[in-house]
Chains A and B, each alone.
Chain A
Amino acid sequence: MTGSVGAPAERREGREKVSGTARYAAEYHVPGRAQAWPVPAAVARGRVTGVDTAAALTVPGVLAVLTHENAPRLREPDDATLAVLQDPRVPHRGWFVALVVAETLEAARAGAAAVRVAYDAEGHDVALTASHPGLYVPEEANAGAPGLREQGDPDGAFDSAAARVDVVYRVPPLHNHPMEPHASTARWEDGRLTVHTSSQGTNAVRAALAGLFGLPEERIVVTAEHVGGGFGSKGTPRPDVVLAAMAARQTGRPVTVSLPRRYLPAVVGHRAPTLHRLRLGADEDGHLSSLTHEVGTHTSRIKEFVEHAAVPARVMYAAPHRRTVHRVAALDVPSPSWMRAPGEAPGMYALESAMDELATELDMDPIELRVRNEPDVEPDSGLPFSSRHLVECLREGARRFGWAGRDPRPGTRREGPLLRGTGVAAATYPVMVGPSTAAARALPDGTYLVRVNATDIGTGARTVLAQVGADALGVPLERVRIEIGSSELPSAPLAGGSSGTASWGWAVHEACARLARRLAEHTGPLPEQGVEARADTTGTADAESERARHAFGAHFAEVAVDTVSGEVRVGRLLGVYAAGRVLNARTGRSQFVGGMTMGLGMALTEGSTMDAAFGDFTESDLASYHVPVHADVGEIEAHWLDEDDPWLNPMGSKGIGEIGIVGTAAAIGNAVHHATGVRFRELPLTPDRVLTGMLGARA
């Protein structure tokens, strides 16, 4: 070991990013490249009865208009959202019904505006309610989680509990909105397809394109050199890459499809709204006897995606009687998908808010309540934990935050128009890891080349994988070069589920360790092409574990609520995490802080509305959907405990990309209750809602 792992190494692609030379998917100036602009459906449900392209085709510079009548035929995809321009069906508003290809962006846009689409519109239903007749319990929710789990007699235990909380929470639809809109540049040459795309994993994109176009994967190259964020919305291929490949085939030109910002909410996935009902029953000492978490959510007509928000309740607290259930209704809405910590983020908002309510009910410190309900084994599975340091995170966070001596009485800290409060919440995120391959080569000049089709969506994958490789080789970090971001490299899974570094790193570690052994046996100078070793972690990385593996964390928030305007300001956020070994202190911290910032948005500013009349998200752009800005973000601290967990991977790491968002909204919500004495159960905590709530409480 040379000790590269854990060091705060600077991002390898940093210079390119600060100098503007890092290239993203829409920035490949291939000669003859055309631009394309999609036409979204203007009805929420129905059929396209005619597309009049005549006017569009007279717009100077327009090359072609693709519709379901003339677009290349695709084979049926596994993911129905990729079957674009294949039939006249409109499953939701915003679904693409045409694509205009032109010489310039301006011409493509003008052409798209000139396309006339006629519809046979049908009545639509986009309104999710807790009693929607279409709600059903799915066999599986996202991530393969069972739709329903039940142990003991949760209703009976709840009814006989000394302290009870029975509450409902609502989390609205949320949008990922990475700063780089979804974009792809595609070209065909001699029956080969080359695509530059903004994706979290190009092997999956290549496989999808191979299936859609009936091509062997060897004839497709997909690269994602730099990706301007994804947060789940680029986890699998999206329509942009299919449209770009279709348009390039149709026109014989390289084509870039860069989706306009306000089209994204309808076609790239969103966090589905979740309606939560929590029932917590406990004895006088706070020991939970019953825990029921019921989640209602929506999916689209073409794809079943179930936000698995009741799943964290299967992990968190020891309650002998429990029920966790998801119910989903298929509506005429855009298809939901992954958004940072799907399931855990909304689920823990509800569970951790309800735990705070129970602490209030019991007149008990909320940290103490959590400590009392710490389980010996994973409650749902009965498996022992590989490591679980939630209590240590809570204690360390309390120490750093200055929790001791907190006056628990709500609504008593007034400074002029402000009411101040503090709150705490726990966080959890599962350890996920997938099989990957990697190659490591020693070169005669004394350097090493590590190749793996990892994707850097902002995590610093290049840097951390070089660190893993350097340590496995026992060489200084600067001697290790790394290549990622192309399907031409050894195949690897996506950057998602906080699994990227664990999955890629495991294969990189194995390839480099194998190379080191080979080099130890090697005598004399290296051959010109060097010496290479490869690794494939299939069968090991994805082997079933005998342990329940999760990261844990504790979030603390300090807020000031303006009693005149209803504005909530978060002066301080503090997180302490137990996530195995943190492999790069610098980029790791940035990921934790980034997740907390998105959690702050979830708590205070982000919310989307499904318009019942039009069947569309009303907050479709960045002027209406408010992601946090500089002025919203005060002090944010992220700390972590060193965890030595032998049940993970050779690096000893758990994922860190998502846990930062998980408990943040609940911590802020609990702080707002502590400040105001009013319990808000619907996000986001916008001034109108907070002011109305405070006035209502006063009346």
Chain B
Amino acid sequence: MDTRSVRQYGPPGKVPDDMGNDQHHSETTLRVNGKPHTLTVDHRRVLLDLLREDLGLTGAKKGCDHGQCGACTVLVDGRRLNSCLLFAVALDGCDVTTVEGLAGDGEEPHPLQRAFLERDAFQCGYCTPGQICSAVGVLAEAAAGHPSHVTDPGAPSGQPVPLDRDEIRERLSGNLCRCGAYPRIAEAVEDVIP
């Protein structure tokens, strides 16, 4: 990180040193759903808590806080990631898209959001934002030719991978759903495959 961009503050509850510095917070700028945010971030703060607590974007869910459930999945620079495992200060300059930003500025939901509605691909809704963000990532990964565990090893390298049911299931297996909406989720993803 460029140290010149790190301005240090004494946050509430933290006694600053003589220079007014605090070793535990740094100013960080993120673009979230297209909008820049500059915050003084506790170094321990993960992206998930930054979104939920600092920006009030509670679409990303905390299911386990340990990268085990996928409910916190968001897109960082276009890639799906577990936001509970990412220190926010390490993401200075990154572009983050959450479920709230998928539809853009329009009233119309993202095609995946619509497909989830049409297929009844959720019940309690708590894993849903993560499933949807993860599925957006899956579509991009397959289009870019990223193989998965079930991709035929003989498939041509770098070519788009067709997403059949097994590919969808495999690629979404990091997103747990305790209500058991898996079959409907797979159908919803199939619905939007170009």
**Residues of A in contact with B (beta carbons under 8 Å apart):** 10-11, 13-24, 26-27, 29, 60-62, 103-107, 110, 177-181, 226-229, 231, 258, 260-262, 457-460, 586-587, 589-591, 593-598, 621-623, 627-631, 633, 635-636
**Contacts A105-B49, A594-B181, A633-B183 given: A458-B124 contact, CB under 8 Å?**
yes
A260 interface neighbour in B44, B65, B118, B132, Cβ under 8 Å: B65
| Residues of A with C-beta under 8 A to B128 | 17-18
Q: How far is the CA of A29 from the CA of B109 in the complex (A)?
A: 25
Question: A620: shortest Cβ distance to chain B, in Å?
Answer: 11
B117 at the interface (CB under 8 A from A): yes
A21-B59, A103-B13 given; 12 more Cβ-contact pairs under 8 Å: A14-B116, A19-B103, A20-B99, A20-B100, A60-B15, A179-B126, A180-B63, A261-B66, A458-B125, A622-B66, A623-B68, A630-B173
B32 at the interface (CB under 8 A from A): no
Q: Which residue of B lies closest to A22 (CB)?
A: B125
**Contacts A27-B52, A593-B180 given: A633-B63 contact, CB under 8 Å?**
no
List, sorted by A's number, 10 A–B pairs whose CB atoms are closer than 8 Å: A10-B120, A23-B58, A61-B12, A180-B61, A258-B62, A460-B123, A596-B180, A597-B182, A630-B185, A630-B186
**Contacts A179-B176, A180-B61, A636-B183 given: A630-B123 contact, CB under 8 Å?**
no
| Residues of B with C-beta under 8 A to A231 | 178
| Residues of A with C-beta under 8 A to B181 | 590, 593-594
Please list the 8 inter-chain residue pairs (A to B) with the smallest Cβ-Cβ separation, ordered nearest first. Answer: A20-B59, A597-B180, A228-B126, A458-B124, A17-B125, A458-B123, A594-B180, A20-B99
**Contacts A178-B126, A458-B124, A591-B123 given: A104-B42 contact, CB under 8 Å?**
yes
B137 at the interface (CB under 8 A from A): no
B64 at the interface (CB under 8 A from A): yes
Q: What are the interface flags for B55-77 relative to A under an 8 Å C-beta threshold, 1 for contact and 0 otherwise?
A: 01111111111101101000000
User: Is the CB–CB distance between B66 and A621 below 8 Å?
Assistant: yes
Q: What are the interface flags for B155-193 relative to A under an 8 Å C-beta threshold, 1 for contact and 0 otherwise?
A: 000000000000011101111111111111110000000
User: Is the CB–CB distance between B122 and A177 below 8 Å?
Assistant: no
A457 interface neighbour in B113, B124, B183, Cβ under 8 Å: B124
Q: How far is the CA of A622 from the CA of B168 in the complex (A)?
A: 21
User: Is the CB–CB distance between A228 and B132 below 8 Å?
Assistant: no
| Residues of A with C-beta under 8 A to B69 | 179, 261, 622
| Residues of B with C-beta under 8 A to A24 | 58, 61, 126
Q: Which residue of B lies closest to A585 (CB)?
A: B120
| Residues of A with C-beta under 8 A to B4 | none
**Residues of B in contact with A (beta carbons under 8 Å apart):** 11-15, 42, 44-45, 49, 52-53, 56-66, 68-69, 71, 98-100, 103, 109, 113, 116-118, 120, 122-129, 132, 168-170, 172-186
| Residues of A with C-beta under 8 A to B176 | 179, 622, 627, 629
| Residues of A with C-beta under 8 A to B127 | 179, 228
Q: Which residue of B lies closest to A260 (CB)?
A: B65
Question: B139: shortest Cβ distance to chain A, in Å?
Answer: 15
Interface centre among B13, B57, B109 (most CB of A within 10 A): B13
| Residues of A with C-beta under 8 A to B59 | 19-21
**Contacts A106-B44, A178-B126, A179-B126 given: A628-B117 contact, CB under 8 Å?**
no
Q: Which residue of B lies closest to A102 (CB)?
A: B13
User: Is the CB–CB distance between A621 and B68 below 8 Å?
Assistant: yes
User: Is the CB–CB distance between A18 and B122 below 8 Å?
Assistant: yes
| Residues of B with C-beta under 8 A to A179 | 61, 63, 69, 71, 124, 126-127, 176-179
Question: A297: shortest Cβ distance to chain B, in Å?
Answer: 24
**Contacts A103-B13, A630-B185, A633-B183 given: A229-B124 contact, CB under 8 Å?**
yes
| Residues of B with C-beta under 8 A to A15 | 109, 117
| Residues of B with C-beta under 8 A to A598 | 178, 180
| Residues of B with C-beta under 8 A to A629 | 173-176, 182
Q: Which residue of A lies closest to B129 (CB)?
A: A20
User: Is the CB–CB distance between B68 and A14 below 8 Å?
Assistant: no
| Residues of A with C-beta under 8 A to B63 | 179-181, 228, 261, 622
User: Is the CB–CB distance between B168 and A630 below 8 Å?
Assistant: yes
Q: How far is the CA of A480 from the CA of B14 in the complex (A)?
A: 53
User: Is the CB–CB distance between A11 and B57 below 8 Å?
Assistant: no
User: Is the CB–CB distance between B62 and A628 below 8 Å?
Assistant: no
User: Is the CB–CB distance between A19 and B172 below 8 Å?
Assistant: no
**Contacts A106-B42, A590-B120 given: A21-B100 contact, CB under 8 Å?**
yes
Question: B169: shortest Cβ distance to chain A, in Å?
Answer: 4
Q: How far is the CA of A103 from the CA of B14 in the complex (A)?
A: 11
**Contacts A106-B45, A179-B124, A227-B124 given: A18-B180 contact, CB under 8 Å?**
no
Question: A616: shortest Cβ distance to chain B, in Å?
Answer: 17
Q: Which residue of A lies closest to B115 (CB)?
A: A18
**Contacts A179-B69, A621-B68 given: A633-B125 contact, CB under 8 Å?**
no
| Residues of A with C-beta under 8 A to B175 | 629-630
| Residues of A with C-beta under 8 A to B172 | 630
User: Is the CB–CB distance between A630 and B170 below 8 Å?
Assistant: yes
User: Is the CB–CB distance between A590 and B52 below 8 Å?
Assistant: no
Question: A109: shortest Cβ distance to chain B, in Å?
Answer: 8
Q: How far is the CA of A19 from the CA of B12 in the complex (A)?
A: 33
Question: A184: shortest Cβ distance to chain B, in Å?
Answer: 14
Q: How far is the CA of A621 from the CA of B58 in the complex (A)?
A: 22
User: Is the CB–CB distance between A61 and B183 below 8 Å?
Assistant: no
Question: A428: shortest Cβ distance to chain B, in Å?
Answer: 20
User: Is the CB–CB distance between A17 and B179 below 8 Å?
Assistant: no
| Residues of A with C-beta under 8 A to B116 | 14, 18
User: Is the CB–CB distance between A633 and B126 below 8 Å?
Assistant: no
| Residues of A with C-beta under 8 A to B99 | 18-20
**Contacts A18-B128, A590-B123 given: A178-B109 contact, CB under 8 Å?**
no
Q: How far is the CA of A470 from the CA of B185 in the complex (A)?
A: 30
Q: Which residue of B lies closest to A457 (CB)?
A: B124
Question: A15: shortest Cβ distance to chain B, in Å?
Answer: 7
Question: B91: shortest Cβ distance to chain A, in Å?
Answer: 16
User: Is the CB–CB distance between A20 and B117 below 8 Å?
Assistant: no
**Contacts A104-B42, A179-B127, A595-B180 given: A17-B122 contact, CB under 8 Å?**
yes
User: Is the CB–CB distance between B64 and A622 below 8 Å?
Assistant: yes
Q: How far is the CA of A107 from the CA of B49 in the complex (A)?
A: 13
Question: A555: shortest Cβ distance to chain B, in Å?
Answer: 14
Q: Which residue of A lies closest to B127 (CB)?
A: A179
| Residues of B with C-beta under 8 A to A593 | 180-181, 183-184
Question: B10: shortest Cβ distance to chain A, in Å?
Answer: 10
